[in-house]
Amino acid sequence: MDENKIPKDHQEPTQNSEDALSSIDDSVLKNNDDLKFQSRLDLSELQQNVEKIKQEIGKVIVGQKDMVDMLIASLLAKGHSLIEGVPGVAKTITAKLLAKSLSVDFSRIQFTPDLMPSDILGTSVFNLKDSEFEFKKGPIFSNMILIDEINRAPAKTQAALFEVMEEQQITIDGNKFKLDSPFMVLATQNPIEQEGTYRLPEAQLDRFLFKIDVNYPNLDEEIEILSREHELKDKVKTDEVVSFLTAKQISEYQNLVSQVIVEAHLLKYIAQLIVATRSNQFLYLGASPRASIAILKSSKAFAAMSGRDFVTPEDIKRAAIPVLHHRVIVTPEREMEGISSKQIIKQIIETVEIPR
């Protein structure tokens, strides 16, 4: 089935674009053209360092530009990302290289069926010398966490991530521990393998800003990969990735992104997209308010990465699919017909008019 289209007999009725345009008052259009943004942000340094991160990762990774863009946007928007793809498409190494380009604390956790929450969060250990319990921090106490094969851990272990991903803190034995900023969770999973895996609960999926689908490289990229391997370039390039962006700089950039301007009519557009998922007859579960906030934050990040201090409709459209497609659930009937959540989100984007 065509990934971009839902069969015509399944599509919802759309508003005639000519009728919609004719209903817009000319003065409104004129006022919209004359808009002047009062707040201006200096995003040149941010944009330059974003390009530098891409260059550092590009020393090792061929292609996968969309994945890299999404990971950087997620970092700037203070979000977490779930990376899904078949084995061998550079999910894990790209996440590691992103962390390596940043001068921040990094931890990698390999999820397995026997992993316990204390293996991630930490545990209280009795100190014989002081005759009292002391907390021994787990690997989650880092700025950037890579969770490999997140769907291999059982529900009890998955639940241990809920609080830390949402509130950037953990609670152990009634004591709260705040984690340092910036804080980002990158998780990978394989969509094909089923044995020994557990489906991620909706509550956890909702805590990921993006779900990034990683595809195979194209022919030219595949040839370049072989060429690099043949010339043994990749054996030394990994060590050449330079750590240059500090935690303080990242926090400053995140603050800049939060100040990017979003006009009222675009806030309405985001809300209309979200509401459309709740009334769509092909979706069993629509998107929550957390999803609308996620689109807002990520569209600001995309704007800042482009050097703009204001959001455009294209930023919102770009954010909508990776933000929404893992948060909604397709009805069983449509799922049996092979219709995916991505297709439905694309159709919603095509049919919802941008307010003027």
* 222 and 355 inside one domain: no
* 148 and 56 inside one domain: yes
Q: Which residues of 26-58 are buried (b: 16+ CB within 10 A; e: fewer)?
A: eeeeeeeeeeeeeeebebeebbebbeebbebbb
* 180 and 323 inside one domain: no
User: What pLDDT does residue 229 have?
Assistant: 80
Taking only the tens place, the pLDDT of each residue in 163-215 is: 899 999 988 878 888 998 899 999 999 887 666 678 888 888 999 999 999 99
User: What pLDDT does residue 10 have?
Assistant: 52
Q: Which is nearest to 270 in space by CA: 195, 175, 354?
A: 354
Is 179 a member of any domain?
Answer: yes
CATH number at residue 120: 3.40.50.300
d(Cα 216, Cα 193) in Å, to the nearest integer?
A: 17
Q: Do strands 329-330 and 283-285 pair parallel, antiparallel, or not at all (unpaired)?
A: antiparallel
- Token pair 């990934």 is at which residue? 3
3-state secondary structure of 154: coil
* 313 and 286 inside one domain: yes
User: What pLDDT does residue 4 have?
Assistant: 52
pTM: 0.82
User: What pLDDT does residue 42 have?
Assistant: 84
* 205 and 245 inside one domain: yes
* 179 and 206 inside one domain: yes
User: What pLDDT does residue 236 have?
Assistant: 53
Q: How many angstroms from the chain centroid is the CA of residue 178?
A: 22
Is 41 a member of any domain?
Answer: no
Is 144 a member of any domain?
Answer: yes
Final residue of a structural domain among 218, 234, 256: 256
* 189 and 128 inside one domain: yes
DSSP symbols for 48-113 = HHHHHHHHHHHTT--S-HHHHHHHHHHHHTT--EEEE--TTSSHHHHHHHHHHTEES-EEEEE--T
d(Cα 319, Cα 73) in Å, to the nearest integer?
A: 10
Is 29 a member of any domain?
Answer: yes
Which residues form the domain of 288? 1-36+260-356
d(Cα 335, Cα 80) in Å, to the nearest integer?
A: 27
CATH number at residue 323: 1.10.8.80
Final residue of a structural domain among 205, 238, 256: 256
* CB 279, CB 286: distance < 8 Å: yes
Final residue of a structural domain among 195, 224, 256: 256
User: What pLDDT does residue 24 have?
Assistant: 39
* 249 and 130 inside one domain: yes
d(Cα 65, Cα 22) in Å, to the nearest integer?
A: 40
Encoded tokens for 26: 């000319």
Is 136 a member of any domain?
Answer: yes
* 273 and 354 inside one domain: yes
- The stretches in the chain having pLDDT less than 50 are 13-39
**Phi (first) and psi of residue 111, to 5 degrees:** -80, 135
User: What pLDDT does residue 351 have?
Assistant: 93
Is 15 a member of any domain?
Answer: yes
User: What pLDDT does residue 111 have?
Assistant: 92
Q: How many domains does the chain have?
A: 2
User: What pLDDT does residue 36 have?
Assistant: 45
* 6 and 103 inside one domain: no
Is 307 a member of any domain?
Answer: yes
User: What pLDDT does residue 195 have?
Assistant: 66
Is 200 a member of any domain?
Answer: yes
* 217 and 351 inside one domain: no
* 147 and 236 inside one domain: yes
